[in-house]
């Protein structure tokens, strides 16, 4: 029997601003932040979707600077978790952004 969703699942589409996209260190920062939540978190690019709590899964998306991804969060405190993950991406995932901004890769709690 299929589960029927009664509430909308929050998602947000964002362009990756950091120089290396979701590669190695930035992907590790993102997956660590996603894993800190009980919610189910996915990242989609084009026709592929990855479990955001898995570094290897994220790396398979082959995301580069400027690529557009959709982050979807389902579960407890989904809106808060989504806001935190989007803020983390916007901050550069621990990498300096263009123009010399120093980005922090803390990732929440």
Which pLDDT tens digit goes with each residue over 44-61?
999 999 999 999 999 999
Residue 104 has pLDDT above 90, yes or no: no
pTM of the predicted model as reported, rounded to 2 decimal places: 0.83
Q: Give the residue among 56, 51, 107 at the shortest CA–CA distance from 83.
A: 107
Domains of the chain, with CATH numbers?
11-90 (3.30.1340.10)
Catalytic center residues: 23
What's the chain's average pLDDT? 87
Q: By percentage, how much of the chain surpasses pLDDT 90?
A: 69
What is the rounded CA–CA span in Å between residue 50 and residue 83? Answer: 19
Q: Contact at 8 Å (CB) between 39 and 78?
A: yes
């Amino acid at each position: 029997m299929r589960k029927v969703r009664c509430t909308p699942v929050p998602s947000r589409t964002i362009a990756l601003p950091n120089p290396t996209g979701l590669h190695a260190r930035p992907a590790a920062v993102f997956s660590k932040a996603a894993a800190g939540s009980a919610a189910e978190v996915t990242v989609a690019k084009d026709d592929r979707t990855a479990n955001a709590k898995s570094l290897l899964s994220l790396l398979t998306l082959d995301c580069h600077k400027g690529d557009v991804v959709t982050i979807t969060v389902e579960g407890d405190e989904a809106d808060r978790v989504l806001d935190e993950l989007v803020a983390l991406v916007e901050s550069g995932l621990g990498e300096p952004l263009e123009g010399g901004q120093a980005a922090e890769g803390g990732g929440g709690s």
